[in-house]
Chain A
Amino acid sequence: MTTSVYASPARKSVLEQKQRSERRKLMLYGAFFVIALIAPYVVYPVFLMKILCFALFAVAFNLLLGYVGLLSFGHAAFLATGGYTTGYLLSTYSGLTPELAILAGTSASTLLGLGFGLLAIRRQGIYFAMITLALAQLVFFFYVQSSFTGGEDGLHGIPRGKLLGVINLADNLAMYYFVLAVFVFGFAVVHRMVHSPYGHVLKAIKENEPRATSLGYNVDRYKLVAFVISAALAGLAGSVKTIVFQLASLNDAHWHMSGEVVLMTLVGGVGTLLGPVVGAAFVVSLEHQLAQSALGDWVNVILGVIFILCVLMFRAGIIGEFQKFYKKNFK
């Protein structure tokens, strides 16, 4: 009797609809991927790589804010830790290949994320944000004082090296496709996480934490796993970014950076997979355009205004508003 209802026409049509929207989503991702493959022949590759690095950073951040409901205000620490570790290793050991340096940078951020997470995860809302901010400031001043980071000067002229000892990353096109591959990997990890058994528990925790607890889920542990993976991916973004620009500086560790990733995610659409990508592209492009125009000094003012408009008028962000519009008019 159960199975007969279960296989009812209504239920079937729901499932079919689900499959259709799944297919549409795949097609959309495919289209983005094709554009990304062609893009470096049209647009300056270094600019594109900057977008991809920040997009990965924002995707990592959004995993926490969008899918666990935790606002971390210390993600700059993970970006910078990845960057400094990778940069230091590549400048110091000339024989080291970039993929190993990236692995080391990512691991360092993962460990730092575990440390932050263990201290912060029991707190919620503004307290969680404040603890992560405080810890990130601690890390910032550590990097200011440390000799291996080059202090105020940062690390310059970091060699890009040869990927796996074969592919010379000094070539911008080769570098671009490598960055694209790393980004796709990071995006795929988050996509899979969100659509996994674990992702369903995360969603339940985000929606109603006391209820998830009362069903027997140890919510702090689930949050910690998400926090550590988010830190790892932020570190990955920082590591790759350092290789692209051959530079690691205090900018990445500064709390401005933690704020900027919040902005990117909100503008693009928090809690959507594509939102942070679009948001990162938007913010990076805008900064790039403004820096070249007469309004160069007004970058932060203009970004501030956009942030305010975003919070007041279109809270769902670019992708979120688009989804709403699509649902309203085409379904």
Chain B
Amino acid sequence: MSSEFVLETRNLVKEFKGFTAVDDVNLKIQKGHIHALIGPNGAGKTTVFNLLTKFLIPTRGQILFKGDDITAMKSAAIARKGIIRSFQISAVFPHMTALENVRVALQRFEGNSFHFWASEKTLNRLNDRAYQLLESVGLETFADTVTVELSYGRKRALELATTLAMEPELVLLDEPTQGMGHEDVDRVVELIRQAAVGRTVLMVEHNLSVVSKLCDRITVLTRGAILTEGDYAAVSQNPKVREAYMGTESAAVEGAH
């Protein structure tokens, strides 16, 4: 039963002092899906992400990855299991080149990460693979550019390349199109679609047009609890969702950003 779900949470709760940020959340992410987590500001979406990757410790509840209980594992161990997350603010290594950003991810599989006595030239054997990954997100001409100098959209693309370098089974994307212009949004949507082939993606996203284009299933979160779940058509017609987003029942959800 649980094996068809890559990720499952059971009665997940996170309480801060006098405030329940995540309230009894039962998520089921089906293998191969692009699953969106949406909801108004402060609904607890990012908190859920932080719980799943153990950047925060759950107060109660269980997290299962492919049927295994990973509730007690630490962040780095969860990443090594194959769950790689991104962050709301682009998570790059700003003073490393684009190539080095991807390479430092690939390096984890090499088993030489503690080799302080070895030459950095031993990393050059990863260059070809790193280069391929940059190419897959259209950044090959920026391989030797220091990352701070890249545009915001390209930083996000680089972040995706770095994430893919880990060959994750489950990718958690926290607002991948936040703060982007239209062109960049379309590019990133295309990149996520490519990246999702053979993988499962869980994404927090505000931009509903992105959600409608990409996602197989949507979970709506308000005030830390699940409001409803379903495909885009079902969720967008739900009056409760409209109310949560717009404050009134009548307003159209489509315009919400």
A residues sitting closer than 8 Å to B (CB atoms) are: 2-3, 5-6, 10-11, 14, 192-193, 195-201, 203-204, 207-208, 210-211, 213-219, 221-222, 225, 229
Contacts and interface: CB of A to CB of B under 8 A. Distances in A.
B123 A217 contact: no
A196 B115 contact: yes
18 contacts: A3-B128, A6-B127, A192-B116, A192-B119, A195-B120, A197-B123, A198-B112, A198-B113, A201-B104, A203-B96, A211-B91, A215-B105, A215-B166, A216-B84, A217-B108, A221-B114, A225-B114, A229-B116
| Nearest 9 CB-CB pairings of A with B | A216-B79, A198-B116, A211-B91, A207-B93, A216-B80, A218-B76, A193-B116, A14-B144, A197-B112
A208 B92 CA distance: 7
A197 B144 contact: no
A204 B94 CA distance: 9
A199 B85 CA distance: 24
Contacts of A196: 115-120
B103 interface: yes
A198 B110 CA distance: 11
B95 interface: yes
B140 interface: yes
B194 interface: no
Contact of B93 (A10, A211, A216): A211
A198 B76 contact: no
Interface in B61-117: 74-77, 79-80, 84-87, 91-96, 100, 103-105, 107-108, 110, 112-117
A229 B131 CA distance: 33
A211 B108 CA distance: 13
Given A2-B132, A5-B140, A217-B76, A198 B114 contact: yes
Given A6-B128, A11-B143, A195 B119 contact: yes
Contacts of A5: 131, 135, 140
A197 B118 contact: yes
Interface of B: 53, 55, 74-77, 79-80, 84-87, 91-96, 100, 103-105, 107-108, 110, 112-120, 122-123, 127-128, 131-132, 135, 140-141, 143-144, 162, 166
Contacts of B96: 200, 203-204, 207
Contact of B113 (A192, A201, A207): A201
A211 B87 CA distance: 8
A100 B61 CA distance: 57
Contacts of B166: 215-216
A217 B93 contact: no
A217 B107 CA distance: 10
B103 to A, nearest CB: 7
Contact of B107 (A201, A210, A214, A225): A201
Contacts of A193: 116-117
B143 A204 contact: no
A213 B100 CA distance: 17
A50 B119 CA distance: 31
Given A197-B107, A214-B84, A219 B76 contact: yes
Contact of B91 (A199, A201, A214): A214
A207 B92 CA distance: 8
A222 B53 CA distance: 20
A182 B144 CA distance: 36
